[in-house]
Amino acid sequence: AAGFLVALAATTTGALAAMEATPPDIVVTDLMMPGGGGGREVLRRAAELPGRPPVILMTGRTEEALTDELIAEGASRCLQKPFRLKDLLAEIDSVLEQRR
C-alpha cells in the first residue's frame, strides 16, 4: 500500500534466502526470529550483500544499551515495539533518503 515491493519471511533462514535471491534496497527485520541467528544474523549477512542494504531492526526489548550495540553492529535504526505503521514508514523513508 505504501508503494514498496516486499519479500516476506517468517524465519531467519527464509529471510536469508530471500535476500540472496533478490538483494534488497532495505531490510526490515525483527531481532528475535525463529530459525537460527535471528535479526543479528540477517544484519550480518546483509552487510555482505552487494550495495550493503541498510537494516532496520525491530525489537520489543527496551534496553538502551541494546540499541547502541545493534547500531555499533551495523544496524541503521532500531525501532521499538509497539509502533505504528506510519512510524515504520517514516524510518524507512529516512534511511532510504540518507542513501540517496
Each residue's pLDDT expressed in tens, for the chain with a length of 100 residues: 888 999 999 999 999 999 999 999 999 999 999 988 999 999 999 999 999 999 999 999 888 899 999 999 999 999 999 999 999 999 999 999 998 8
What does the pLDDT read at residue 35?
A: 85
- Taking alpha carbons only, the member of 78, 98, 94 closest to residue 86 is 94
CB contact at 8 A, 7 and 25: no
Residue with cell 530459525: 35
What does the pLDDT read at residue 76?
A: 97
What does the pLDDT read at residue 46?
A: 96
Cα dist from 73 to 5, 9, 91, whole Å: 26, 22, 18
What does the pLDDT read at residue 63?
A: 84
Strands, E assignment, the chain: 27-30, 55-59, 77-80
CB atoms within 10 A of CB 70: 21
Rounded to whole angstroms, the Cα distance separating 60 from 7 reads 22
Find the distance separating the first CA and the last CA of the chain, reported in whole Å: 22
- Taking alpha carbons only, the member of 58, 60, 54 closest to residue 93 is 54
